[in-house]
Amino acid sequence: MKTKSGFSWGNFLRNLAVIAIPVALQNLLTTTGSMVDTMMIAPLGETSVGAVGLCAQFSSLMFSGYWGFVGGGMLFFSQYWGAKDEDGIDRSFGLTLVCMLASASIFTGLALLAPELVMRIYTDKTAIQAIGVDYLRIVGFAYPMQVISMAMSALLRSTERVRIPLFAAIASVATNMGLNWVFIYGKFGLPAMGVRGAALATTCAAAVNMAVILILSRAQGYPYLFHFSRHYRWNSSFVRSYFVKCFPILCNEILIGVGNMVINIVLGRQSEQAIAAIAVFRTLEGLVIGFFSGFSNAASVLVGKSVGAGELDTAYERAKRLVLLCGCSIFVLCVTLIAVHRPLLTVMSLSGESLEIGTGLLMIYSVAAVIRMCNWTQNDTYRSAGDAAYGTILEISFMYAVVLPCVCLTGLVWKAPFLLVFACCYIDEPIRFVLMQVHMYSGKWVRPVTELGRAALPAFRKKHVRDKAQRTA
């Protein structure tokens, strides 16, 4: 089936499915593993669930610290893949890996050497702090392995080898679930370790994930991970180009990560029931984000590959349709989640007041998630096409000018109901969606980094201006 403009929906959907479905499955598997973690920890009490949930927020802050390099790296990976530039792929992977490890080393040091400081920042509840310290002292060893796996997975996905990370995720989640049962409850003659057992299982699972990626990549003859001598052949021009593109993404992820940390600090100073509810909610939120990640990676690969190959009209048409499909799919997922929310929340240890709070959190999020994920898809599309600044400026501006003041005032000054404080976290999404759509249809986000893409840009700009004039006539 084709549109009047000659766009092939059938080919587009096939390409989308090849990338999006394995990535979504991988992330949903990981999220399912997190849900099982929460269920297995649940018998230890709401305090333990809340503590591990806050530790997960520290891990998310680390994720923000290095994700700027993942986003920038995927921009280069996908465009060089479209241009069939192997040297560009090798150099950009090496630089991305070094930068990610440098960022992760800070969080590894904090988790292993200063976990008390970390927990005091996130909550003022001493019982939760003590449990979180025990967890961080072990799970900190998993951070470097998780970062290496993330870098390798980003490269594999960008070069359309999405099944290797999926198989690694299956092995990792299976390992995590099995070892959780053994370590948390003390099976096979081992002592019951509680939350420390959950941390140890997570660390072992991270090692399995990294090992499986390397083994399968070598077995399938995938070259780019093993071109060690080529990974570090950088020159000043390449490094400058890399950081120019990565800098806006890095600023976005770090500043948004800090903003989210402030939000979590405010939420972490609510009642223990609210802290437990938000910890369980974050796990379920991961289901939506995990499903969305398929669209995110599809946007980066399909659009970035087309831009790198000089097929700019194809990239533009793909980008518009990715937003539509993302919104529809996330809506269906959120409706499904609402339909089964009560048994899910109950099995994850919520009851009474915490169950009611958790239900409210899901209802608010389900309304906001469709718009939020569409905004993310558009931003990932812009980044892969070479425009890393527009979405960054919007997100940071609204976070610090609108969201944080509203959350802090309602949560700390006015002592508003917890659900109202939570709703303020998404107050900016509808406004940003309108602005992102305007930028989408302008076509100004198409900014190639390859020679083929740059050569095709003048004709694309000229055609886009002509088409816009015809629409307004």
Q: How far is it, in rounded angstroms, from Cα 230 to Cα 213?
A: 20
Residues 365 and 280: beta-carbon distance below 8 Å = no
What per-residue confidence (pLDDT) applies to 296? 73
What pLDDT, on the 0 to 100 scale, is given for residue 436?
A: 95
CA dist 400 to 22, 263, 373, Å?
35, 11, 20
pLDDT (tens digit per residue) in 17-31:
777 777 777 766 766
Residue 229's pLDDT is what? 80
Q: Residues of the chain whose pLDDT is less than 70?
A: 1-7, 27-28, 30-38, 471-473
Residue 161's pLDDT is 87
Residue 459, beta-bridge partner list: none
Does the reported pTM lie above 0.85?
A: no
Distance CA 425, CA 363 (A): 14
| pLDDT at res. 33 | 63
Angle between helices 46-83 and 115-122 (to 10 degrees): 100
Q: Using alpha carbons only, what angle is made at residue 378 by residues 9 and 338, rounded to the nearest 5 degrees?
A: 85
Domain limits, the chain: 9-466
What span, in angstroms and rounded, lies between the C-alpha atoms of 20 and 304? 15
Please tell me the predicted confidence (pLDDT) of residue 251: 81
Give the residue among 175, 42, 179, 199 at the shortest CA–CA distance from 111: 199
The Cα 216–Cα 172 span in angstroms is: 14
Phi-psi region of 189 (alpha: psi -120 to 50; beta: other; left: phi over 0): left
411-432 residue pLDDT tens: 888 989 999 999 999 999 999 9
